[in-house]
Every structure is written in C-alpha cells, then in structure tokens.
Structure 1
Amino acid sequence: MDLLTPLYHTDKLHPHFKTITDGRKGRHYQREELLRWLEGFPDRDNKFVKEFQTTFNSSFWEIYLHATFRDYGFSFDWTHPAPDFLLTAGEVTFTVEATTANHAADATPEWGLGMTPEFYKDVDFNELNRVAIIRLANAFMSKSRKFDDKYAHHDHVKDRPFVLALAPFEQPGFQLQAFRPIEALLFDYYVDESEYIANPGRFPNGLEGKTLGSVQKDNGAEIELGFFDCPRFSHISAVVFSHLGTWGKVDAMSGCPTAIIRSIWSSPSGLEHVVSKGDECSEKITDGLRIYHNPYASIPLPLEVFRKEGVAQIWADPVERSLFSEEAENCLQSRTAMMFFTGKDKDFVETPSP
C-alpha cells in the first residue's frame, strides 16, 4: 500500500501526516522507519490509507502493534476481518483488538497545543490523569461491548484469549501520564505525583500508590475504578498498553544523526537518564510496552506469550489485592525526541511502499 502519497486536499489531511510528509531535509529517516514497521501489513478493507492520512493516531497504533508482534515472531492470520489481529505464539492462539483513547468532542485534541516550557510548567498531573482515566475507560468499555455484540460468537475468537491493545492520545501532553491512569483504571492503583512534588518529605521511600475508588466525569457521573478487580470483564484476558508507542518511537529508531533522544529507564538501582544521538540510540520497538493481565480472565493469556527483556508485565492477586510484575525495574519509562531539520530534501526518493 502507498501510505505516504497524499490522496486528499491539505485541509483534510491530519496535522501529523502533513508534518511527516513536509519534505524537510532528514525527514526521510522517519518515513523509512515507518515503512519498515509497515512491511507485511495488509489493507483489508481498503480504508487504511485514508484513515492514516486523515485521522492518523488509531492507524499509527495498529502499525506499531503489527511491527511489535512481528518482532516477537508471532504468526499472523489475516483471513478474518475482525478482531484486528489473530496471532499465534507457540501453542497459544489469541486475538487482539486495537483501540485508542481520543479527545472528547468538545475538548482540545492532543495536537492542539504546542509543547512549550509554559505548558510543562503549568501541568496539573491529577487533572491530566483524571481526563486520561475517563477517556481510557471510554475506549475500554466501547471495545468490551463490541466483543459481546460482534466478536464473541465467532469460531476464531471462541475459547481463546482476547486481548485489548490500548494507547492514549486523548489530550495535549498525554505522554506525561506514563502508566498512572491505566493502572488506576484496571487495578485502582494510583500514584499521586502532584502530592509527592508538593511535599516529598512525607514520602521518605519515594512515590507511593493509593486507591481512588472512582473518578468523576465532567457531568458528575462516577467511573468506578478497578476493572480487573472483579469478574465483570472476564472476557478480556489482558491489556497491551504503551504511552511510548508514538511517533517519538519512530524518531528514536530512525537513526537520524541530527536527532537527540532523551530517555529515562528504570533499573534495580533506580532511574537512569540517557541522552544519545539518533544514530546511536538503542531503543527497540518493544521498549515501553506493558502487559496488564486480568486475574479474573475466563481464558488467561500466559505470561510466556509477551515475556521479553524490557517488557513489563503486571498482574494482581485478587485475594491479597497486591500487584506483581516482571521487568518493571528494567524498562523504558519516558522518552523525548528532538529532531532538527533544515531546508528541503527534494532529491530524496522514497523506497517503494510494501
């Protein structure tokens, strides 16, 4: 499929698509990396190119997932139109439905504000996380209903783990949420960073988690947290999540020599800050990936399926109400990519799209 040749008037193109095809010198490093991710990905409904060029984020998330699953060596079965992925890993066959948390109809989209120093200075983490929880819950519930209404009766879905792949794109600065909102939504485990920043002396052992019980929407309705703390969503085996499966990962993996990549990694000894040039960055496609397992799943997803260095897997003991994890102290926590482009790259010829 030819993903990058504009098919529509510029007024209909998504701002991110216009950015990556703006012709600035060096931009081709990003496009080439994206096309590597795209290899082998079919346009099953002949709508994918349009959606990528006009709405972007949900299509980009699917491309990221495809590249990630390919990196794992999973086998793909494209004979069914839905859910989005039918995969086999060793002896385990499972389905994955991709979705994104998007902005509300009357809210500012994630591309609607510049990431200026003033923006970061004024961030209210609790409000940012509240909005994120609400929008993540909306996306989660929508796909949960879709499973019951459309997927559950299909033979290729029955008796197999069903996984929801969820990414946040719901507001400007969404990447700052890390994994606080998704863990609050699934396990009612919330880390209040604003509280810690305001009075770190109260927390001699560092950041601590707490329960919220619920969050309130703008209309006053309450969303009860802890979706994986009860059997209500037993049909969802796990959630695949990444706040770093964004265009910044393309930047980090593109090898662009003029890029500067700033990353924070967790380690047993604490957080490690790494700064590297784009052509020296070691970030992999799976870095930043997190798998949340449902302890009440009627068909659990084995931990072995996504077990990999740097991929955090989290699960709970429903009796003790305790969280457990692997690789959580050996993974990518955050990343900022700064790209420096000048002029136009008129002489560059794109590699043909797969």
Structure 2
Amino acid sequence: MNTNDTPVEISEISEQRFNAFVVWARGAGPLVPTKEVAWLEIRPAKVLGVLFVDLTDRELHSCVLAPDLSGRYRGVRLLGPHADVRAAVNATAEAMANVHAEYDNSRTQGDETPSENFFRVASSEDRLHVRFKYLRDQTSAVAARRLIEVAMRWYENQDGTFVEQFQTTAFDARVWELYVWALMREAGLRVEQPKPAPDFLARGVFGDFYVEATTANPPPAHSVPVPPETADELFDYAHNYLPTRFSGPLVAKLRKRYWERTGARKIPFVIAVQDFHQDLSMTWSQPALYEYLYGVRIEDVERDGVVRQVEVPVGTLKWGTKELESGFFKLPDSERISAVIFNAAGTLSKFNRMGIAAGMGESSLLAFHRGSRYAEDNSGEVVPFSQQVGEGYEERWIDGTTVFHNPRALYPLPPEALPGAAHVSERAGMREQSSPAGHLVTSTTSLVLPQG
C-alpha cells in the first residue's frame, strides 16, 4: 500500500478529455441508459470521476475510475444516489482523493490480463512504415501517440499480427481499424472482436451487427495513373479509375462469405472501407464510392436556365484494360452486405486532433482544422470552416462518417445504430442522404511547431 497524505488537486474537465481515457471501456457492461453531467480528474489522469443521471429512475450517481494494473481505466468506486450536484461533486471528490491516497490497492481489480503495446519492438528498423516512425518519434504526433497508448490497452490482437502490421506493411489499414472501433465505442455499443473474423461484433439497443474493416491500397508502381490534365481525362479519372479502387477490397470481402462461418447469426453485416491508394486520395473519393456502390453517378444538368443534379445509370467501368460491372449492391450475394461505412477523416490526423483536444499534445504545437461542412442551420448548404485545435475544441469520432445502406439487404442496418453519421438510403428507386447539422464534408489538418 502506497499511502500518500499529500493534498491533491481535483479539477473539472471536459467530456472530450474524459472520453479520451474512458471511451475504450464503454459498453463493456450492461446497457443502462444514463446521461453524464460532469467530469473530474486528478492529473495527469491518475484518477477520474464522472457524475451521471440514471434515466430509468432519474437519480444522480457518480463513479470513480482509475487505470488497473494493465492500464485499463475501470470503475473502482460507485457512489449514490446523491441529493444534488453539489453533494455528488463533494462525495466524488472525497472518494477520488481516497483512491489516490492508496493508489495501487485501490486500482487493483484482481482479474487483470496482459494488454497490448503497439509500440513494442516487433520488426527491424528498416522495415518500419514511414508513418509509424512519424507517430513514434515526432513531437507533432505526440497527441495521437498518447491517445493510442491508452486505447491499445483495451484492443485485442485477434490474429497475432496486428502489432507487426501496424508498424510495417499495413499501418494505414490498422489505423482505420482502430478508428472504426473508436466510433462504435463512442456510439455506446459493446464491441467484441471475434476470432478469427470478422473484425467486430457490435451490440446495442437497436440490435447487433458485424463489421469488417478494409482499405483501398496503392496500386503497383507500374499501374499508377498519370495525373489528369484535360477535362476528359479528369472525368475518366473520377468516374472510371477512382470507382475501380473500391471494387477490389469490397469484392474480396464479399467473397469471404462471412455469413457462412460457424457461429454467424442472421444479423446485419457491414463493411467499413477507407481509401489509402494515394496520398490525400480519401479527400475526394466518397463520390467515387457512391457511384460504385449504387451504379449511378450524379451530374449537373441545365434545363431552362436552371441547373439540377440528376442520377445517370452507370453499367460498366472501364480503365485501361480493366473492365468491371458497376453497382456493388447489385452483385450476386451482395444482399448479405447491409451497408458500407466510409469516412475520409478516419486517419491518423483524426487521432491527433482528438488527442490535442483532450490535452494530450505538446503545449507549443499549433494545430488547425480546415475544410467544409454542412451548415449548422440545417439549410443543407456546404460552408467553409477553420478552427484552431486545442483544449475546448469539440470533435467526435463519428464526425464525417457516411453510412451507405444497401437497398437489397436481407438484414438492414438500423440508422439509429450509428447516430451522428450521415445516411444514404434508397426510396422509390432514388437515393437520398440525411446528414446531421455540421456534418463534415472535407478537411485537412495543419500542424506548426515554433522554431528555435
């Protein structure tokens, strides 16, 4: 027992900072409807506290959390019901101080299992991915690294290859997988990692569903297309080449026939896909994914001086010697795929912004998030934005996520399962998109470290 009689400072913190440490543990227990109202901390995240209302009986409770001996934040004291917020804060602060005073005894759970370390030496230096070395070594990536170090304590290395691939040949794909896991945790889902596949089984109040993550990766060096210059080349590139980048990973997952595996149930199956085939490619690949999934493209047509957007059917995609059928949701067996998830912002930059907003970054680093999003007034207008990222900056894991629903799905995914995402669905043979106010369309992140 390491009793410590030194007074401790307990401060109120943002939900964003609290979630940076705790979101990974969410959903691990019963799905009790609650609403959190305040968050407390003994820095640096030694002990955390949360006040919440049990929505079933409207009573105010609180919980004290600390990292167990494997580094996973877990509840160590459950308090309440409290008479009011002041009483709840006082009781929670006192319990937090007591936990801190007998820290090792208080946080020991007795059932700890070894946790993963994504940064342990798993490969020779010459094989390391350039972006892994950036994450590991650079000051500008400190926030992402610290956030991932917390998350990895909860992550399961399903097939035993995650760490090695995270460091070498599949860094981007593994970051995307972590991102998908994070957005489901944030959505209040209990997330299991079946062995050996698919990647996730999400359980929530609107039902269960499987998720398999995949990526569009760079083509062989001899197949990299020449950047388009003319209007015709740009059209061909956008409407033929880019959609083909999604066909490979999506069809490959379809052919896995996960629904036939032992233990698979008749529940929705979702593919989460990201585009890493070229630097910054994910910033303009969503329209291409839309075209490939539904077999239609949207064109501007002028009639009587008015420009309208209309859907034009696309039967075949042709790029060089490659020719394939458009319309993934029309392929044989595709009715087994309930939806496809995409988010151009689901990259390492997202982890960095979320970490900076949670106070995990280098204090001298300046970060700016710029791009376009739907207006907050629900007008549907796309407007530019520019924000400095720091403590007080708000962003959620699901921001920028679009769910493309399969109109032929045998087991449709309820849109309510992923609140906060944009949803594309079909009605009367036409596609329509519902997007939350402020939905992220495109964005970039700029990082500046002072010289000297």
Q: What's the TM-score, normalizing by structure 1?
A: 0.81
Query: Does the alignment pair 1:275 with 2:386?
Result: yes
Checking the alignment, whether the CA contact within 8 Å between 1:261 and 1:277 is kept in structure 2 is yes
Cα distance, 1:200 vs. partner?
Answer: 9.6
Q: Tell me what 2:281 maps to.
A: 174
Q: Tell me what 1:159 maps to.
A: 266
Query: Does the alignment pair 1:90 with 2:205?
Result: yes
Q: Deviations over 1:125-166 (max 9, x none)?
A: 64155332112011110000012xxx2233432311111111
Q: Deviations over 1:23-59 (max 9, x none)?
A: 3x34312212333444521112221110000020111
Q: Tell me what 1:350 maps to.
A: none
Q: Deviations over 1:213-267 (max 9, x none)?
A: 2211321x42221222476411111111112211221233232551111031113
Paired AA for residue 182 in structure 1: L
Checking the alignment, whether the CA contact within 8 Å between 2:269 and 2:338 is kept in structure 1 is yes
| Inter-partner Cα distance in structure 2 for 1:26 and 1:135 | 31
Query: Does the alignment pair 1:265 with 2:373?
Result: yes
Checking the alignment, whether the CA contact within 8 Å between 1:243 and 1:288 is kept in structure 2 is yes
1:145 is aligned, of 240, 245, 255, to: 255
Checking the alignment, whether the CA contact within 8 Å between 1:288 and 1:333 is kept in structure 2 is yes
Query: Does the alignment pair 1:234 with 2:335?
Result: yes
RMSD of equivalent CA atoms? 3.2
Checking the alignment, whether the CA contact within 8 Å between 1:261 and 1:281 is kept in structure 2 is no
2:134 is aligned, of 19, 31, 37, to: 19
Query: Does the alignment pair 1:289 with 2:396?
Result: no
Checking the alignment, whether the CA contact within 8 Å between 2:283 and 2:443 is kept in structure 1 is no
Checking the alignment, whether the CA contact within 8 Å between 2:343 and 2:401 is kept in structure 1 is yes
| Inter-partner Cα distance in structure 2 for 1:108 and 1:32 | 37
State the percentage of identical aligned residues.
25
| Inter-partner Cα distance in structure 2 for 1:171 and 1:129 | 16
Q: Aligned with 2:213: secondary structure?
A: strand
Query: Does the alignment pair 1:52 with 2:159?
Result: no
Call closer, same or farther: CA 1:281–1:209 in 2, change over 3 Å: farther
Q: Tell me what 1:224 maps to.
A: 325
Q: Tell me what 1:347 maps to.
A: none
Q: Aligned with 2:448: secondary structure?
A: coil
Q: Aligned with 1:41: secondary structure?
A: coil
Call closer, same or farther: CA 1:26–1:137 in 2, change over 3 Å: closer
Q: Tell me what 1:213 maps to.
A: 315
Q: Tell me what 1:188 maps to.
A: 295
| Inter-partner Cα distance in structure 2 for 1:78 and 1:341 | 38
Q: Trace 1:119-138 onto structure 2 (pairs within 5 A).
A: 124=234, 126-128=236-238, 130-138=240-248
Cα distance, 1:119 vs. partner?
Answer: 10
Checking the alignment, whether the CA contact within 8 Å between 2:144 and 2:353 is kept in structure 1 is no
Cα distance, 1:14 vs. partner?
Answer: 0.8
Q: Tell me what 2:345 maps to.
A: 244
Paired AA for residue 388 in structure 2: K
Q: Aligned with 2:197: secondary structure?
A: coil
Call closer, same or farther: CA 1:201–1:244 in 2, change over 3 Å: farther
Call closer, same or farther: CA 1:130–1:34 in 2, change over 3 Å: farther
Q: Deviations over 1:267-315 (max 9, x none)?
A: 3331121111121542211011111111111122122212x23x10111
2:180 is aligned, of 65, 73, 79, to: 65
The answer for unaligned runs of 5 or more in structure 2 is 1-115
Query: Does the alignment pair 1:43 with 2:43?
Result: no
- The range that moved more, 14-23 or 120-129, is 120-129
Give the structure, 1 or 2, with the largest relative contact order (CA under 8 Å, sep 6 or more): 1
Q: Tell me what 2:416 maps to.
A: 304
- The range that moved more, 264-273 or 324-333, is 324-333
Checking the alignment, whether the CA contact within 8 Å between 1:38 and 1:67 is kept in structure 2 is no
Q: Deviations over 1:297-351 (max 9, x none)?
A: 1122122212x23x1011113xx3201222266410011001123689xxxxxxx
Paired AA for residue 383 in structure 2: E
Q: Trace 1:105-124 onto structure 2 (pairs within 5 A).
A: 105-106=220-221, 124=234
Q: Tell me what 1:340 maps to.
A: 448
| Inter-partner Cα distance in structure 1 for 2:211 and 2:398 | 16
Call closer, same or farther: CA 1:251–1:263 in 2, change over 3 Å: farther
Compare CA radii of gyration and give the structure with the larger one.
Answer: 2
| Inter-partner Cα distance in structure 1 for 2:305 and 2:149 | 46
Checking the alignment, whether the CA contact within 8 Å between 1:217 and 1:223 is kept in structure 2 is no
Call closer, same or farther: CA 1:201–1:281 in 2, change over 3 Å: farther
Call closer, same or farther: CA 1:223–1:75 in 2, change over 3 Å: same
Q: Aligned with 2:382: secondary structure?
A: strand
Q: Aligned with 1:228: secondary structure?
A: helix
| Inter-partner Cα distance in structure 1 for 2:190 and 2:382 | 35
**Matched pairs, number:** 324
Q: Aligned with 1:140: secondary structure?
A: helix
Q: Tell me what 1:324 maps to.
A: 432
Paired AA for residue 314 in structure 2: L
Paired AA for residue 315 in structure 1: S
Call closer, same or farther: CA 1:22–1:130 in 2, change over 3 Å: farther
Q: Tell me what 1:348 maps to.
A: none
| Inter-partner Cα distance in structure 1 for 2:235 and 2:137 | 33
Q: Tell me what 2:146 maps to.
A: 32
